[in-house]
């Protein structure tokens, strides 16, 4: 398992990670770690893997305390970690690299041979087993790096962009392997490919500006509806309507976009005049079944001219949470 509480890490005056907390249990599916460039993902992963010491906070990985030098060293020995840059030794044969990685993990004899054969089979490396790593394509180098990270059968696996450089067939093969690993292990995956998150991640943690801005099951995060509504309520203006809606359970945001004279540009509440007939148009972010919102509006005395639900994509959610629109 992975347990993180109140992590902070600075580089000089720059705070890369601040107050990051989350927990990941084994056998709960793949967890995706997302964030724009510079958000703090890599710094967080380097602290989890024992390569960086946090300024503040507590880390527990596979039952090991990451707050001490001895604990961080033991975490490095125990976990399976594939960094984004995938450091390899180009002069080594694939066979030599797997043997080297196994021995570095304390494996010898038949246990090492068995683990090597398992990696060759699972990552389809047999055709290049005696090839120097420096002569391999980027896709094969990525598979060799992944084999080195998994050869000791770790209970906690941390992967940074594991499918980078692979062709579509290889990507599907690696994704299937990652799904299989997550059935009885703790797997944390960092990727920029949102389709990959939708395909294999059961849960998403989104980091922006060094802080966690979302931590939800993938399907629950995507369940949020964007609903376009034309409505009015007697005696209430846009500001009072927004206040009432934001107090309703399930409403995440309300953005008005209609003003008198036909101007449909988005604006903040209070900007511009009210429409002559009193009807306003709003985009409402709602995280439950849309019919429940419609029923609630009617029961509260709203007149509804139109009500158009539309589910947001993961990309739209990501852009909204990281303020990159």
Is pLDDT above 60 for 258? no
Which helix or strand (DSSP H or E) is residue 69 part of? helix 69-78
> 274 and 149, same structural domain?
no
12 three-class SS: coil
Is the pLDDT reported for residue 265 higher than 80?
Answer: no
Band (pLDDT 50/70/90 cuts) for residue 257 is confident
95 and 235 in a single domain? The answer is no
Residues 135 and 42 in one domain: yes
Residue 138 has a pLDDT of 87
What is the pLDDT, as a whole number, of residue 278? 81
The confidence band for 220, taking pLDDT boundaries of 50, 70 and 90, is: confident
Token look-up 């399907």 returns 219
| Domain boundary pick from 221, 238, 257 | 221
- Domain shared by 115 and 229, yes or no: no
Supply the pLDDT for residue 260. Answer: 37
Specify the pLDDT at position 165: 76
- Please indicate, yes or no, whether residues 122 and 205 belong to a single structural domain of this protein: yes
Q: Domain with 297 in it: what CATH number?
A: 3.30.70
Number of structural domains (the chain) is 2
| Angle, CA of 255, 260 and 264, to the nearest 5° | 45
User: Confidence band (pLDDT; 50, 70, 90) for 319?
Assistant: confident
- Is the model's pLDDT at 2 over the cut of 90? yes
150 and 251 in a common domain: no
* pLDDT the model gives residue 276: 58
Kindly report the pTM of this predicted structure. Answer: 0.77
pLDDT for 287 equals: 81
Are residue 231 and residue 272 in the same domain, yes or no? Answer: yes
For residue 77, what are the domain limits? Answer: 2-221
Average pLDDT, rounded, for the chain? 88
What is the average per-residue pLDDT within 91-97?
97
**CA-to-CA distance for 201 and 193, rounded, in angstroms?**
11
Average pLDDT over every residue of 85-107:
94
Mark which of 192, 221, 250 sits at the end of a domain. 221
Query: pLDDT confidence of 275, banded at 50, 70, 90?
Result: low
DSSP 251-309: EEEEEE---GGG------TTSSPPPTTS-EEEEEEE-S-HHHHHHHHHHTT-EEEEEEE
- List Cα–Cα distances, 96 to 16, 143, 248, in angstroms: 38, 15, 62
- Percentage above 90 pLDDT, the chain: 70
Last residue within a domain, chosen from 180, 205, 221: 221
Bridge-partner residues for 82, per DSSP? 159
Same domain, 64 and 195: yes
- CATH number of the domain where residue 173 is located: 3.40.50.300
- The least confident of 123-132, 151-160, 246-255, 269-278 is 269-278
Q: How many CB atoms lie within 10 A of CB 166?
A: 20
The answer to whether residues 51 and 64 belong to one domain is yes
């Amino acid at each position: 398992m992975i347990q993180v509480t109140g992590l902070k890490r600075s580089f000089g005056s720059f705070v890369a990670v601040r107050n990051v907390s989350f927990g990941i249990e084994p056998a709960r599916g793949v967890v995706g770690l997302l964030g724009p460039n510079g958000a703090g993902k890599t710094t967080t992963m380097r602290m989890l893997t024992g390569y960086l010491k946090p300024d503040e906070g507590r880390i527990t990985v596979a039952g090991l305390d990451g707050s001490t030098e001895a604990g961080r060293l033991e975490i490095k020995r125990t976990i399976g970690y594939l960094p984004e840059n995938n450091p390899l030794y180009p002069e080594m044969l694939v066979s030599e690299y797997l043997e080297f990685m196994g021995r570095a993990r304390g494996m010898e004899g038949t246990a090492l041979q068995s683990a090597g054969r398992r990696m060759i089979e699972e990552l389809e490396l047999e055709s290049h087993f005696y090839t120097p790593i420096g002569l391999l394509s980027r896709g094969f180098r990525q598979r060799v790096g992944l084999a080195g990270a998994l050869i000791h059968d770790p209970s906690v696996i941390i992967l940074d962009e594991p499918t980078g450089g692979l062709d579509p067939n290889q990507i599907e093969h690696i994704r299937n392997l990652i799904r299989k690993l997550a059935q009885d292990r703790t797997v944390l995956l960092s990727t920029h490919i949102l389709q990959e998150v939708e395909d294999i991640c059961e849960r998403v943690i989104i980091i922006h500006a060094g802080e966690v801005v979302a931590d939800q099951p993938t399907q629950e995060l995507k369940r949020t509806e964007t609903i376009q509504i034309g409505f009015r309520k007697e005696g209430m203006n846009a500001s009072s309507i927004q206040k009432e809606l934001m107090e309703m359970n399930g409403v995440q945001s309300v953005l008005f976009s209609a003003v008198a004279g036909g101007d449909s540009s988005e604006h903040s509440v209070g900007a511009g005049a009210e429409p002559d007939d009193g009807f306003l148009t709003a985009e409402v972010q709602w995280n439950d079944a849309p019919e429940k919102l419609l029923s609630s509006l009617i029961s509260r005395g709203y007149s509804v001219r139109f009500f158009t639900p539309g589910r947001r994509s993961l990309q739209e959610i990501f852009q909204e949470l990281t303020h990159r629109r």
